[in-house]
Amino acid sequence: MNARFIVLPLLAAAAIALGGAATTSGAHTRSAGPADTFVTDWDLIGQQAYVAAGWTVPEGHELFAYVAIAVYDSVMAIDRSYRPFMVDVAAPEDTSKEAAVAAAAHEILVHYLPSSQTLFLDTAYTSSIEKISDGQARTNGENLGKAVADVVIAVRGGDGFRDFKQYTPPNPPIPGVWLPTAPTPPAGTFLPGMRPFSLESADQFRPDGPPALSSRKWARDYNEVKEIGSTTSTTRTPEQTLAARFWAEAPIQQLHTTLRRFVGDHGLDLVDAARFMAMVGVVIGDAQIACYEAKYHFAFWRPITAIRAGDTDGNDDTVRDATWTTLLPATPNHPEYPSAHACLTPALGTVIARFLGTDRIDFTVVSISNPSLGDRRFEHVNDLEEEVTAARIWGGIHFRSAVEDGTKLGLRTADYVLARHFQSTHD
């Protein structure tokens, strides 16, 4: 565990710990305070800032980890019910949690997305703060949130976020090696070199890799997605088509709209909402770093490339189809193995189950762009895991090995993070 001690402005001494004791994260019982509005309001503002910036999905997930940590540690400085993640500081008794949330989120977002400051972040902050009675508690909360966020920014300085690397595809192509699927720069190239939030290293849970092109397993993976993931598939059911399209919606917007609904559906108060969002933020942030480290380490080709070049892999059981197309209109522009959705969404299911203290999560994921797709409700954590991973095969963008190994990576990451952070101070 790395530790650093500094004095925060207008506050007591702060111990900044990167790591923690290995105990199990406690389950949520029942929120004691009024239903949260501030944590979810600032999550929505963060989503709007992310969209306005035109950032990619990998950038978005890491941004929300920063926001969630700053908000959570600010709230814990006042409430003290759970152990802080990064910044441990005792706030004055007369400190507004709502003001701390607004100030912490605003400070993080302005730092990482300065172009949105005058566009709408400052206006949103003024509107948010004016909902709180003027006085010393509000002032203390604003000072606290800003100071904690500044420490998070300092600690994470130089962590590799958005330090993009160049990917050079092989020329001529090499069977099995990823070729970009869009003219835009490959996504997430900064992630393999980014310092995780909780994991010891980005490659801590690196999987064994995709199957050898000469293997029966590769032929199985190839022929499965070739049949069920194509535009013209006759074996994919209407429900599978619906699910594939549902899970192809904009990931950041879909996830965070869903998280805000979860907070509302469960009537979480501000403290529990901050804790839940931080659990999600850190687990997703680290699972994504680990996932992309593996992606660019193995740099495995996508089905759209492999199936159109099936005669080059040396396997007699993989027949080429030069005109093959995927159900989903766009293949993500990063290597295939492992699947990012498989790395992240089952990990999210673990967070929800741990937070609620039950695998029967009764969790609804929302559709944000196509009313005909409808929302999708998952009673059990396994239901969520099974559908999202299969949907990537049904959509034609992943092989089975990628979703199976991605799921294992994500679950191991979630277990590791939640064993070390977000425990009750009474544990």
Residue 28 pLDDT: 56
Position 20 pLDDT exceeds 50: no
pLDDT digits (tens, 9 = 90+) for 308-317: 999 999 999 9
pLDDT digits (tens, 9 = 90+) for 242-252: 999 999 999 99
pLDDT digits (tens, 9 = 90+) for 329-385: 999 999 999 999 999 999 999 999 999 999 999 999 999 988 889 999 999 999 999
Q: How would DSSP label each residue in 23-47?
A: -PPPPP----SSBP-HHHHHHHHHH
Q: Which ranges in the chain are annotated with CATH 1.10.606.20?
A: 191-418
**∠220-343-57 over CA atoms, to 5°?**
115
Q: Work out the pLDDT band at 14, boundaries 50, 70, 90.
A: very low
Position 224 pLDDT exceeds 70: yes
Residue 208 pLDDT: 98
Q: Which ranges in the chain are annotated with CATH 1.20.144?
A: 2-155
Q: What is the mean pLDDT of the chain?
A: 93
Q: Which CATH architecture has domain 2-155?
A: Up-down Bundle (1.20)
Position 139 pLDDT exceeds 80: yes
Query: Which token pair is 266?
Result: 């469960």
Residue 426 pLDDT: 83
The stretch 392-420 carries a mean pLDDT of 98
Higher pLDDT, 379 or 12: 379
Run of H or E residues at 5: strand 2-7
The stretch 210-239 carries a mean pLDDT of 98
Q: Work out the pLDDT band at 112, boundaries 50, 70, 90.
A: very high
Position 22 pLDDT exceeds 90: no
Phi, psi of 10 (to 5 degrees): 65, 10
Residue 27 pLDDT: 58
Beta-sheet strands, E only, within 81-146: 87-88
Q: Work out the pLDDT band at 10, boundaries 50, 70, 90.
A: very low
Residues sharing a CB contact under 8 Å with residue 28, sequence separation 6 or more, in sequence order: 266, 268, 272, 275, 276, 355, 356, 357
Residue 29 pLDDT: 53
Position 13 pLDDT exceeds 80: no
Q: Which CATH number does 191-418 carry?
A: 1.10.606.20
Lowest-confidence region among 277-286, 341-350, 369-378, 403-412: 369-378
The stretch 311-324 carries a mean pLDDT of 98
